Structure 1
Amino acid sequence: MVVQHNMQAANANRMLNVTTGQQAKSTEKLSSGYRINRAADDAAGLTISEKMRKQIKGLDRASTNAEDGVSAVQTAEGALTEVHSMLQRMNELATQSANGTNSNTDRKAIQDEIDQLTTEIDRVSETTKFNETYLLKGDGAEKAHKVNAHDAGLDGVTLTDKGDTVDVTLKELKAGDKVSIAGKNYTIGSSATDIQNKITAGTNTAKKSYTVNGKTYQVSDTEVFDSTGNNKLKKSDLTGNTGDTADATLDDLKALVTDGSTVTIGTKTYTAMTDAAGAADGIDDNDSTVITAGKAYQLQTAEIVKASSIGADTAATTATNATHDAATTTFSLTKGTVSYKDALSFNLHVGADADMTNKITVNIDSMNSAGLGVKGIKADTEQDATYAIDAIADAISAVSSQRSALGAVQNRLEHTINNLDNVVENTTSAESRIRDTDMAEEMVNYSKNNILAQAGQSMLAQANQSNQGVLSLLQ
């Protein structure tokens, strides 16, 4: 029996300390709700948990970012809904003004409303914003942009866009064709030159027959004959000048065709327009509705240039078809320009990582009157109103395209939000399994440790009493 080393008490005390430490940890876990309160609790688990927490918090913020993006897109698309309504009203007004029953007063009232609607489109573009970001007026400095070309409603016109220029092909017109240009109807007449070009040589065995000003001639490859084809004619027979004794040629026959001449070739009769020499303008002097094909091409070109300049600061131009006698069915049009800002572009970050694939880009074009191609649009004359219809149609199409793009982005963002929320939920569940306290299991441990602590305290007390027997030996 010893008193210096009470091993029973020491052992009971050691076990009581262990139990008390475990009881303290159980109490901490139960009160905090976390299984890991410090790295020593589970070093590896803490590392995994914190990495998951970083992802969860990042994805939570990314989901909010996407929701903010939806709100911005809805703000822009909502404003464009009203722009669409205004453009539809402008189209209605332009169509009304294009009708010939309107007076000048009527068209002025129509123009006044169109001006107000154009101004309101600009105001909506300038003021629509989300969190101090203007959504519809573009971004950066204003710069020149090309204006779409239009065919001026002309039949058979083909426009081939080449970027800064447009290749234009007009419908080929022939003598006798009817054509409507700028609301006026014309008939294509024949010039003396046109008819002369149709008179060609025959052969000795197959002469060609032509009736010029009521008199019939036949021609071989080099000579001119009477209507029978048997008697060769002299120049004097054609000109009436008895001094012209040389044989008549094809060119001599062509020379008979002048303004006002009628020529029958096969089954078709042509009348040469009367277009005074020295003042020739491609328009018949006696009937202004009869014009040459070249004049028609010139007039059509001018109308295409006019229609393609709607909404432009700098009008469209062309270096060809400026004169009726040189106008052709093909020419190149240089597009007009108008100044407005480039599209607004911003990125929505919808992921927890810095990967660029976590960026969703939203692009919104400048939606003011300049960007839509209706800046300064006019409908105060029948023809201006007619051309305005095409320009407004292009603007409606542009707004439709932009709204469609915004709607597609919104749908994408809604799927993105659903996916982010799903990932957050599952990752949070995984992180919970690592970090959170299993309350039922920990209560079992706590109860066990509580009992052990009470037992340890009792055993320590008993161990301390075990040495009291030494005193009986000392008495």
Structure 2
Amino acid sequence: MSLTINHNLLAANTARNLSSSYSALSTSTQRLSSGLRVNTAADDAAGLAVREIMRAEVSSLNQGVRNANDAISMIQTADGALGVVDEKLIRMKELAMQAATGTYSSDQRLIIDSEYQAMASEITRIANSTDFNGIHLLNGNLSGSSYDGTGLKSTGKLKVHFGTGNDSAEDYYYVQINTATASALGVGLGATGTNGKSISTQELAQKALEALDRAIVSKDKIRASLGALQNRLENTITNLSIQSENTSAAESQISDVDVATEMTNFTEQQIKVQTAVAMLSQANSLGKLAMNLIQ
């Protein structure tokens, strides 16, 4: 290679190598500081696309877990209220049993019946007032067999969505809760027919016993249905958590930097940059040799 003044090819070549090594060092520094192997689309275009899909999947799954937990809280609210209704029905049957015997006078039965009606009114009050986040649970609001979510306010049974898509087999459950007012259970003054309506006479009290048994069974069916759905939701939460964990692990393989490997690259590029800077300094001084010849 000739010794020239106008073109310092050694310096140009060294500067190009310095630029390349410095760019690699910058990328390595960015990866180590962020903890990510893929920071921009230029790092891995296909990997970035897959990572973003997986991130969206993980976020959706985690929200699905929260949705399912909210549904469990709602079910527990309804079940707790039905537990109180259970106590009232048991007390009503106790009163009916008391009024069914012939050792009480008419006035005494009327007193017993007044408590019986009070218990029925309390059951209706509980059913009408039990709500979760403004959604009434036991007054028949969720007793419909169909679901309509086209309006601002959904009607019919309640839809619990926890999946990342909209497939009924995988992504949501319906919660249907039958009415638990006193009249719906067949007891109290609002009941249809005479059985269970009152215990003011011995005959009515005797007939009320069977009506109360049916009411207790109806209430137990509601609680059993809620309990089964709660268990199903708890299993769903476990499955969603596992899915989220595995998807996060897969996303980590694509996105996260291997610190040991990247630190090796960083050290290599750092040495190259330092060497290139030193060699560029030497290359830039070659022009002085030409000046020595001219002198």
Output the TM-score relative to the length of structure 1.
0.57
Does the 8 Å contact 2:142/2:176 carry over to 1?
no
SS in 2 for 1:347: strand
Where does residue 252 of structure 1 map in the other structure? none
What is the distance in 1 between the residues matched to 2:97 and 2:252? Answer: 67
- Equivalent of 1:356 in 168, 192, 195: 168
Offset from partner CA, 1:302-341 (integer Å, 9 cap, x none):
xxxxxxxxxxxxxxxxxxxxxxxxxxxxxxxxxxxxxxxx
Structure showing greater Rg: 1
- Equivalent of 1:104 in 103, 106, 110: 106
SS in 2 for 1:356: coil
Does the 8 Å contact 2:143/2:176 carry over to 1?
no
Where does residue 43 of structure 2 map in the other structure? 41
SS in 1 for 2:157: strand
What one-letter code is carried by the residue in structure 2 that aligns with 1:413?
Answer: L
Does structure 1 residue 380 correspond to structure 2 residue 200?
Answer: yes
What is the distance in 2 between the residues matched to 1:37 and 1:108? Answer: 80
What is the distance in 1 between the residues matched to 2:166 and 2:157? Answer: 19
Does the 8 Å contact 1:126/1:137 carry over to 2?
yes
Does the 8 Å contact 1:49/1:434 carry over to 2?
yes
Where does residue 5 of structure 1 map in the other structure? 7
Does structure 1 residue 367 correspond to structure 2 residue 180?
Answer: yes
Does the 8 Å contact 1:344/1:365 carry over to 2?
no
Does the 8 Å contact 1:26/1:446 carry over to 2?
yes
- Equivalent of 1:431 in 244, 247, 251: 251
Q: Could you list the runs of 5+ residues in structure 1 that have no partner in the other structure?
A: 143-342
What one-letter code is carried by the residue in structure 1 that aligns with 2:178?
Answer: D
SS in 2 for 1:39: coil
What is the distance in 2 between the residues matched to 1:371 and 1:460? Answer: 92
Offset from partner CA, 1:196-243 (integer Å, 9 cap, x none):
xxxxxxxxxxxxxxxxxxxxxxxxxxxxxxxxxxxxxxxxxxxxxxxx
Does the 8 Å contact 1:70/1:410 carry over to 2?
yes
What is the distance in 2 between the residues matched to 1:375 and 1:14? Answer: 93
Q: Which has the higher contact order (CA 8 A, sep 6+)?
A: 2
What's the offset of the Cα at 1:370?
1.4
Where does residue 448 of structure 1 map in the other structure? 268
Does the 8 Å contact 1:137/1:366 carry over to 2?
yes
What is the distance in 1 between the residues matched to 2:168 and 2:27? Answer: 44
What is the distance in 2 between the residues matched to 1:347 and 1:141? Answer: 12
What is the distance in 2 between the residues matched to 1:382 and 1:349? Answer: 51
Where does residue 472 of structure 1 map in the other structure? 292
Where does residue 421 of structure 1 map in the other structure? 241
Does the 8 Å contact 1:121/1:368 carry over to 2?
yes
SS in 2 for 1:4: coil
What is the distance in 2 between the residues matched to 1:471 and 1:48? Answer: 59
Offset from partner CA, 1:370-402 (integer Å, 9 cap, x none):
111113120010100011111111110000000
Question: Structure 2 vs 1, CA of residues 140 and 408 (structure 1 numbering), >3 Å: closer, same or farther?
Answer: closer
Offset from partner CA, 1:423-453 (integer Å, 9 cap, x none):
1001001101100111221111111111111
* Greater share of helix: 2
What one-letter code is carried by the residue in structure 2 that aligns with 1:364?
Answer: I
What one-letter code is carried by the residue in structure 2 that aligns with 1:419?
Answer: N
Alignment of 1:87-126 (within 5 A): 87-126=89-128
Q: Could you list the runs of 5+ residues in structure 2 that have no partner in the other structure?
A: 145-154, 190-196
What's the offset of the Cα at 1:118?
0.6
Identity %: 40
What is the distance in 1 between the residues matched to 2:17 and 2:251? Answer: 34
What is the distance in 2 between the residues matched to 1:123 and 1:375? Answer: 12
- Equivalent of 2:230 in 391, 410, 425: 410
Where does residue 18 of structure 2 map in the other structure? 16
Does structure 1 residue 347 correspond to structure 2 residue 159?
Answer: yes
What is the distance in 1 between the residues matched to 2:211 and 2:133? Answer: 33
What's the offset of the Cα at 1:344?
5.4
Offset from partner CA, 1:73-128 (integer Å, 9 cap, x none):
00000100010110011011101111111111221111011011011001101110
What's the offset of the Cα at 1:32?
1.2
State the aligned residue count: 275
Question: Structure 2 vs 1, CA of residues 140 and 76 (structure 1 numbering), >3 Å: closer, same or farther?
Answer: closer
Offset from partner CA, 1:36-67 (integer Å, 9 cap, x none):
11111101101111111111111111110000
Does the 8 Å contact 1:344/1:364 carry over to 2?
no
Which runs of at least 4 in structure 1 moved beyond 2 Å after TM superposition?
139-142
Output the TM-score relative to the length of structure 2.
0.90
What is the distance in 1 between the residues matched to 2:20 and 2:142? Answer: 71
What is the distance in 2 between the residues matched to 1:84 and 1:460? Answer: 89
